Structure 1
Amino acid sequence: MHLRPLLTALAAASVLLALSGCAVIGGVAAAHGAGRPDSRTDSAPISTSTDLGQADGYIPVGDRVALTDDVPAVTNLDPDLRDALANAAQAAAADDVEFTLVDGWRSARYQQYLFDQAVTEYGSAEEASRWVKEPDQSKHVLGEAVDIATADAMDWLNRFGGEFGLCQIYANEAWHFELGADASGTCPPPLTDSSAG
């Protein structure tokens, strides 16, 4: 078997996993109906995803943002991560691969909402922590993590991201990338899931 078809098949499988994970994690709005999030303050309680706004880093289900968009999900990212993504995106463009995000920086209240939804979905905090971290442990809240939108971008980053410092951190989240490569551009083996570290 040639390597290219195998990589394509693996990328397709990653997309299915990504979509199933995002349906719970980033896709909570779908379960609560459509609606435009309002712009409440960080102290307001969240009862549904429609209580989240752009100021929380919220990106509505089905939407994506570009690395150049002037939205908090992008502008609140750690500058080193943003620079690494921009450099990788420029290189990926030569291969006709475009980077877009379904998640970037998130407010603590948004992260708590996602964790609470995962607890409801999975039945326990322990099981939920395999997919979503609590706010005080989340790299998204620190602006140090992004969730990439498409299978071709995930595949490209898995093959070449280390050259830019970008690594897939969790084996069960093909879409989640952080800075993690060593000086030689080598990424560590992915952790089993987010409860592992």
Structure 2
Amino acid sequence: MSEVKLAAEIRSEFGKGAARRVRRANKVPGVLYGHGSDPIHISLPGHELLLALRTPNVLLALDIEGAKELAIPKAVVRDPLKGYLEHVDLLIVKRGEKVNVEIPVHTEGELAPGAYLLEHVLNALPVEAEATHIPESVSVSIQGLAAGDSILAKDIALPKGTTLAVEDDTVVLQILAAQAEEPAAEGAGEGEEAAEA
């Protein structure tokens, strides 16, 4: 798992106006919390944070004006139109500590021949993993699966030290039969042509 170092600054101003000023300076307002400590309001470098968040559950090594903390993102707010980061909530973690996170599920292989649809019941799999060894994703083979088949949480191979945080029989993926489009009613167009004549 990748660890990204970021320098953070403590924020003393709050509210929408203060947050806008932070964003105008190409920084992202955030809150750091966890381990029973009071929330710490910080600002982070916008571009570096954006790059770091491309990795799911990235481990952030923060230097907060000389204080060192490890954190993982818990909530990220983006502008719905422009996509830039508006705010981030970070959870303090310690090395060796177990945390509950969701990791993306990737599929490999091809479905059996036929018109089938693959439905992701869960786009991300809830797991418990060591904070410094969170898997970036898990892969599952859908090779040869047909309509009616499904893949349960217990069917997915997890990396060492990672355990499921959902019931074993939770459906993660299922294969559906594709719905055939109904043919247009015969004669519908003919009536319109006759009316025009």
TM-score normalised by length of structure 1: 0.24
Higher percent of residues as strand: 2
Larger radius of gyration: 2
Greater RCO structure (CA 8 Å; 6+ sep): 1
Higher percent of residues as helix: 1
TM-score normalised by length of structure 2: 0.24
